[in-house]
Amino acid sequence: MQNTELSGFGVILLFIIGGVSFVLITLVVARLIRPSRPNKEKLTTYESGEDPLGSAWGQFNPRFYVVALVFILFDVEIVFLFPWATVMGQPELIEQTDGTWGWFSLVEMVIFVLILALGLAYVWAKGFLDWVKPTTEISNYKSKIPVKLYEQINQKYSSEGKS
């Protein structure tokens, strides 16, 4: 008699094959049923809502680094707080030392969070989190669709919304 069970690696392989095939089938079906109407505006590069200027090796706004560092700061804080919360959430561990361990760990975590909050307050007070809003530029793109058609569509939908 043969053992026909899959090993743990076989199950993982089946999940990987299933996941990859699901993604590929979804992409193929989307490619078959979507309309293809490219124009100049649709084929332009989109970079976070800003028009790309120059080479890709150009200047990068350093404020993105500040946002990333603040995210990492609070991400690390959560990484340290989660194990503490799961272990200290068990009353039998705290009762083993007559509650002194629970109070010690609580004070330790409060000091940790206060140091991080103090750092955030310092950065905020110095204005390092202020974001300069870019000026908006009007596109010079000339659409082949007449303006009257847009006006008709807007009137149609605005009259439907009122009724």
What pLDDT score was predicted for residue 138? 79
Note the pTM of the prediction, 2 decimals: 0.41
Say how many residues make up the chain.
Answer: 163
Q: How confident is the model at residue 54 (pLDDT cuts 50, 70, 90)?
A: low
Residue ranges of alpha helices (H) inside the chain are: 8-33, 63-88, 91-95, 100-126, 147-162
What is the dihedral angle through the alpha carbons of 95, 96, 100, 104, rounded to the nearest 10 degrees?
A: -100
Helix pair angle (63-88, 100-126), 10° resolution: 170
Q: How confident is the model at residue 133 (pLDDT cuts 50, 70, 90)?
A: low
Q: How confident is the model at residue 29 (pLDDT cuts 50, 70, 90)?
A: very high
Question: Could you please report the per-residue DSSP string of 91-110?
Answer: HHHHHTTTTHHHHHHHHHHH
Q: Residue 105 burial (CB < 10 Å; 0-12/13-18/19+)? A: middle
What pLDDT score was predicted for residue 31? 93
> Which has the higher per-residue pLDDT, 98 or 24?
24
